[in-house]
Amino acid sequence: MRKVNLSQLNEDERRSPKGKYRKFVKDISIALGREPESLDLRKRHPFDLACIRVPPGASYCPYHAHVAETEFYLVVSGCGTVRDESGTTEVIAGDAFIFHPHQAHQLWNEGTEDFVYYVIADNPTDDTCYYPDSGKWAVSTGDGDIIIKAKPANYYDGEE
């Protein structure tokens, strides 16, 4: 059996260039042996688990929708705001919520304390994300993501 203790895991900071998007992540699944870049199902887990800490005034990431991934959230401490297609909702310790594929979402911390939660994702190998506010796509390639911004086109453009 592989075992880890959260108090012994490194907390990796992930920050956008201007700092609007900032979070601290404990990748529990990776600590338990998941190979993050592998597409080999024997080297992946059927789900990913991470502990996320968002400091006051920061957002986890831009408003986005996964094409294939489902994410389940459980708030541990602090309070946060969640945006989805119906608007915004405040969440507090003990709240749980889920986003299925194609459900756009965003989390941020307007409070004065850290916003801490667990996220469990079902870890599909072929997930792609759409960012409705900017019209961007993050397309998985197996070697990382490629970010593209496209304009609408006819299905047959460039094909005939």
Q: What is the pLDDT of residue 144?
A: 65
Q: What is the pLDDT of residue 152?
A: 76
Question: What does the domain layout of the chain look like in residue ranges?
Answer: 6-125
39 forms bridges with which residues in the sheet?
Answer: none
Q: Which fold has domain 6-125?
A: Jelly Rolls (2.60.120)
Q: What is the pLDDT of residue 51?
A: 98
Q: What is the pLDDT of residue 142?
A: 63
Mean pLDDT score of the chain, rounded to an integer? 90
CA dihedral 85, 153, 142, 16 (to 10 degrees): -50
Q: What is the pLDDT of residue 29?
A: 92
Task: Please tell me whether residue 43 adopts helix, strand or coil conformation.
Answer: helix
Radius of gyration, alpha carbons of the chain: 17
Nearest residue to 119 via CA among 42, 40, 66: 66
Q: Which amino acid is at 42?
A: R
Written as six digits, the tokens of 9 are: 């895991």
